[in-house]
Amino acid sequence: MTIDEAQEEVDQWIKTVGVRYFSELTNMAILTEEVGELARIIARKYGEQSFKESDKKHDLSDEMADVLWVLICLANQTGVNLTDALKKNFEKKNVRDATRHKENQKLK
């Protein structure tokens, strides 16, 4: 599935099953919540924190998909084409960061 296809599928789902988009502010709050859930799993799986019983039911890939879903919702409702945005972001990074990371002594 391409990013464009994902944006279209999410839009169709929202308009049929989901009834309508939540407000942008509500979706921003939901995105923050979903990122927190993702962070919780990563902190326990790759960090020093141990899993609580309630954490064990969460799946890393599902949490990432939740973040992506809400980000796509925000893009759709604010008129952002994520494919175009990502291409522009690559261009920016290729110019701004062309040598930055290679020259970073901390990464060697």
Q: Tell me what pLDDT residue 101 has.
A: 84
Q: Tell me what pLDDT residue 7 has.
A: 98
3-state SS assignment for residue 47:
coil
- pLDDT string in tens for the chain (108-residue length): 999 999 999 999 999 999 999 999 999 999 999 999 999 999 999 999 888 887 778 899 999 999 999 999 999 999 999 999 999 999 999 988 888 888 888 988
Question: Cα–Cα distance between 35 and 43 in angstroms, integer?
Answer: 12
Domain ranges of the chain: 3-82
The DSSP element (H or E) to which 103 belongs, if any, is none
**Token digits for 87?**
């291409």
Q: Tell me what pLDDT residue 103 has.
A: 87
Q: What global pTM score does this model have? A: 0.88
Looking at domain 3-82, what is its CATH homologous superfamily?
MazG-like (1.10.287.1080)
C-alpha pair distances (Å), 75 with each of 12, 51, 59: 14, 33, 24
